[in-house]
Amino acid sequence: MSTLDSPERGSAALAGPPPRILVLSAPYYRDVVDGMLGGAQRVLADVSATVEVAEVAGGYELPAALAMALKQPARWDGFLLLGCVVKGETDHYTFICDAICHGVMDVSTRSAVPVGFGLLTVDSLEQAIARSRDDRMNKGAEAAHAVLGQIGLARAWGLGA
> Both ends of the chain: CA-CA distance in Å?
34
pLDDT in tens, 23-44: 999 999 999 999 999 999 999 9
Q: Is 115 annotated as a binding residue?
A: no
Q: Is 89 annotated as a binding residue?
A: yes
Q: Residue 10: what pLDDT?
A: 61
Q: Is 147:80 a contact under the CB 8 Å cutoff?
A: yes
Annotated active-site residue in 9, 92, 102, 136: 92
Q: pTM value?
A: 0.92
pLDDT band at 1 (very low <50, low <70, confident <90, very high): very low
Write down the domain spans for the chain: 20-154
pLDDT band at 2 (very low <50, low <70, confident <90, very high): very low
pLDDT in tens, 47-64: 999 999 999 999 999 999
20-154 architecture in CATH?
A: 3-Layer(aba) Sandwich (3.40)
The rounded distance, in Å, linking the Cα atoms of 44 and 73 is 22
Q: Is 56:26 a contact under the CB 8 Å cutoff?
A: yes
Q: Which residues of 112-130 are buried (b: 16+ CB within 10 A; e: fewer)?
A: ebbbbbbbbbbeeeebbbb
pLDDT above 70 coverage of the chain, percent: 92
pLDDT in tens, 101-123: 999 999 999 999 999 999 999 99
Tell me if residue 44 falls in helix, strand or coil: helix
Helices 30-45 and 139-156: crossing angle in degrees, nearest 10, is 40
pLDDT averaged over the chain? 92
CA-based angle 10:11:17, to the nearest 5? 145
Q: Is 107 annotated as a binding residue?
A: no
pLDDT band at 9 (very low <50, low <70, confident <90, very high): low
The rounded distance, in Å, linking the Cα atoms of 49 and 11 is 13
Q: Is 83 annotated as a binding residue?
A: no
102 is catalytic: no
